[in-house]
Structure 1
Amino acid sequence: MSDTEAPMSKADYVYHRLSREIRNAEIPGGTPLRATAVAERLGVSITPVREAFRRLERDRLISYERHHGATVIDLSDEALLEFYQVRAAVEGLGARLAAAVITRAELDQLWRLHESMVDNERKGRHELLGEQSRRLHLTITDIGGPAFLGAHVRSLHDSYPVPEGASLWLDPDAAKNHLAAHEQLCRALQVGDGHTAERIMVEHIEFSGGYRLGRRGPA
């Protein structure tokens, strides 16, 4: 932490901790959250927990009902399908735009991140891959659409907590397939082929949506 950086408040700490746990499926969709239990687990009073709950509700990560308390959002099949369709359209556009403007330094950054993911997959560190994939996707969209698309995609990613056990990065076969898609995507960006980059990104995200719907099983 720098000398000019303000220390994190207890409410910020609780918010960031719960946000990360929800988005990483450590607290899966449908889980009830009790403020007293969270306060005890995180070693804080009830007040910062309630403030954090309000922020998580604004982020649409939890819902709150009087007399029932807070619950982690669990998207319906229809909402989940829409989420991935919107992501595919917007991130596909971001990839196409990125191919036209990406710099050598930005491309090197993407390759380093991809190589780190390959190394983690090879060593069985699958729990690290989800966040690294998120960074790669956001980096590409930030490059292609720094004015609007990057912020829009970041908001989309932040609005959906991954269901327990549904992260494809925890599945060795799915992880290998997705790493292959990332490599193809980076190669398309490297040669400035926007149409191919867009197609790969769209197919990559649509596969993710199908995988997660499939993991839910029959209704």
Structure 2
Amino acid sequence: MSKADYVYSVLLEEIRSAQIPGGTQLKAAPLAKRLGVSVTPVREALRRLENDRLVSYQSHHGATVVDLGDDALFEYYNVRAVVEGLGARLAADRISPQQLARLREQHEAMVRDAAAGHRERLGEQSQELHLAIADIGGPAFLGRHARAVRNSYPVPSDASLWLDAEYTRRQLDAHAEILDALEAGDGATAERIMVDHVRAAGDHRLSQRTTDQPA
């Protein structure tokens, strides 16, 4: 990994997880000092983040983390629904018994964690499950695109929808139904459930934003 790749990976994760929130100015010199590199790889990393549309440049302000609003959130979940839905449809025709068994193991681990009240990792586990399905359905391109979409929108760890017990139950039920459709080789049903599942997450997050706004 080059120094620029290192800086990019660190900043991408910090922005994606909202450790660096939207609207934050990113100055090359302080970042270089914090990460133990020169300013050159920092500037290269910031340009890559600009290409990812996670950072914008403005005159006299330099690089600033993009602050994404409700329209971006709506678009994010709908793009995810299309890409991950297609992944589920294609996976139904391609999944092997071994791959299905691994997915079921991942799902059962989530069910056990949820039952024990350990919901803090469910968001990460859910992402792994979704991306595994996308990789099975589209190993050449689709899995990579699914990751790119997910990396394009920051989600704070303490804002994970999986921290909500009722939401957790509904989404785990959806995971089980998707896996059943994959086992049956029913791509149309797998896609429909995945699309509804992802869009439901978007609707839930948008409703949370509305509730959290001051009157």
Q: TM-score when scaled to structure 1?
A: 0.84
Which among 170, 182, 185 is matched to residue 175 of structure 2?
Answer: 182
- Residue 163 of structure 1: how far off its partner (Å): 5.2
Q: Contact (CA 8 Å) 1:167, 1:212: kept in 2 or not?
A: no
The amino acid that maps onto 1:43 is: G
Q: Which residue of 2 aligns with 1:194?
A: 187
- Once the two structures are superposed, the pairs formed by residues 128-143 of structure 1 within 5 Å of their partners are 128-143=121-136
Q: Which residue of 2 aligns with 1:3?
A: none
d(CA) in 2 for partners of 1:27, 1:123 = 31
Structure 1 residues 44 and 174, CA, compared in 2 at 3 Å: closer, same or farther? farther
Q: Which residue of 2 aligns with 1:172?
A: 165
Structure 1 unaligned blocks of 5 or more = 1-7
Matched, 1:12 2:5: yes
Matched, 1:44 2:34: no
Q: Percent identity?
A: 60
- Provide the aligned length of Structure 1 versus Structure 2: 212
- Residue 140 of structure 1: how far off its partner (Å): 1.0
Q: Which residue of 2 aligns with 1:97?
A: 90
The amino acid that maps onto 2:48 is: R
Structure 2 unaligned blocks of 5 or more = none
Matched, 1:76 2:49: no
Matched, 1:112 2:111: no
For each residue in 1:85-132, what CA deviation from the matched residue of structure 2 results, as whole angstroms up to 9, or x when unmatched? 222123212212211221101111211222333344345544433232
Structure 1 residues 29 and 130, CA, compared in 2 at 3 Å: closer, same or farther? farther
Query: How much is the aligned-residue C-alpha RMSD, in angstroms?
Result: 2.4
The amino acid that maps onto 1:167 is: S
Q: Which residue of 2 aligns with 1:59?
A: 52
Runs of 4 or more above 4 Å deviation: 122-125
Q: TM-score when scaled to structure 2?
A: 0.85
- Residue 189 of structure 1: how far off its partner (Å): 1.1
